[in-house]
Amino acid sequence: MIHYLKHHQIDKTRWDRCINKAVNSRVYACSWYLDMVCPGWEALVEEDYTYVFPLTGRWKGIYYLYQPFFAQQLGLFSSEILTEARLHEFLEAIPRRFRFVEIHLNTLNKPDENLVRVIPRINYELDLISPYEHLVKQYHQNTIRNLKKAKEQKVMIDRRTETDELVTLFMENFGEREGKLRFRDYEVMRHVIEYCRKHNKGFQLGAFSADGKLSAAAFFIREGTRIYYLFAASAMSARENGAMFLLIDSVIRENAAQNFTFDFEGSNDPGVGRFYHGFGALAVTYPMIRINRIKSLLLLPSSSLK
């Protein structure tokens, strides 16, 4: 039987055991991660925590489910077989008080498009099990050219970068222009990074130009068998010196010939997709679903419910 649990009712030890053993395990669904990106999250849980489904809810005139920033894929998790029928049992079990649902499931959740609206999303993944010498042969020519440029311009990779340096670099070069992230979102990211650093779950790299200025930086989570390219930023100089190419290549080089999947975290943007694909990463789709239980179609569009 599927149970709807309020936040305080969730046994987080059993929850995390399920996520860690799940065939589709993702760091985004770990209780410590959800606590930061969506405080007060709720859940649908099988009695013995064999199957779990996080509910990331919010109130804005109505209760609705949304996808938190920095949590690319959620949905149904289990170490058991994830059938279409099992998934829809959980979707049907979402409490009726959530009048609107717009969430991302994960790559092993395959909803029936006749029962729910599905919008495909794209992720890029690279299997690192092969030696670096084999992986680099899959790099595209543009990637190789930029790596050569970075080395010629003496770009240096350094782990000694601070969280605020990365966040500031993002805000100055992308944040203000895109306008998607607010102050509270940057604070969430800071908390995630600091937690992961403290618990040895992640690492941050900076790429510095020859004059010592930070050209690019990124934070990576290493959890289970996946390395997540969680948060990154680059200055205008990175377009000229190939800094971000060298930064990602250094992570691939360091973790090659190990049982890791490099998770680039998207994107549906063709330009960003080409950049990831240039390292040999392959596109993998996951579903965004939308469920509208609102009778009036005059309510705010989904994009305003962020």
Q: Is the pLDDT of residue 55 over 60?
A: yes
Tens digits of residue pLDDT in 109-126: 999 999 999 999 999 999
Angle in degrees, CA 286, 244, 182, rounded to 5: 60
Q: What is the pLDDT of residue 305?
A: 54
Is domain 129-259 in CATH 1.10.300.10, yes or no?
no
Q: How far is CA 162 from CA 190, 218, 219, 231, in A?
A: 10, 11, 10, 13
Instruction: Report the pLDDT value the prediction gives residue 176, as an integer from 0 to 100.
Output: 58
Of the two residues 102 and 159, the one the predictor is more confident about is 102
What is the Rg, in whole angstroms, of the alpha carbon atoms belonging to the chain?
A: 20
- pLDDT, residue 120, reads 96
Task: Assess whether pLDDT exceeds 80 at residue 244.
Answer: yes
Give residue 160's pLDDT.
85
Q: Across the chain, what does the average pLDDT equal?
A: 93
Average the pLDDT over each of 87-96, 173-182, 199-208 and give the range with the smallest value: 173-182
pLDDT of residue 157: 97
Fold of 2-121+286-304: Aminopeptidase (3.40.630)
Please state, as a whole number, how many other Cβ atoms lie within 10 Å of the Cβ of residue 83: 11
Region 224-253 average pLDDT: 95
Q: How many CA atoms lie within 13 A of 279 on its CB side?
A: 28
Q: Does residue 174 carry a pLDDT above 90? A: no
DSSP assignment, residue 9? G
Structure confidence at residue 297 (pLDDT):
44
Higher per-residue pLDDT: 271 or 306: 271
The pLDDT of residue 299 is 47
The b-or-e profile of 38-70 (16+ CB within 10 A means b, else e) is: beebbbbbbeebebbbbbbbeeeeeebbbbbbb
pLDDT at 267: 82
Confidence check: pLDDT of 228 > 70:
yes
Q: What are the domain boundaries of the chain?
A: 2-121+286-304, 129-259
Give 140-149 pLDDT, tens digit per residue: 999 999 999 9
Between CA 205 and CA 82 the distance in angstroms is: 36
Return the minimum-mean-pLDDT range out of 15-19, 59-63, 274-278. 59-63
141's tokens: 């020519």
Query: Are 73 and 25 contacting, i.e. CB atoms less than 8 angstroms apart?
Result: no
* Whole-angstrom distance, CA of residue 19 vs CA of residue 2: 17
Give yes or no on whether 2-121+286-304 and 129-259 have one common fold.
yes
Give pLDDT tens digits for 5-51.
999 999 999 999 999 999 999 999 999 999 999 999 999 999 899 99
* Per-residue pLDDT band at 179 (split at 50, 70, 90): low
**What pLDDT shows up at residue 304?**
47
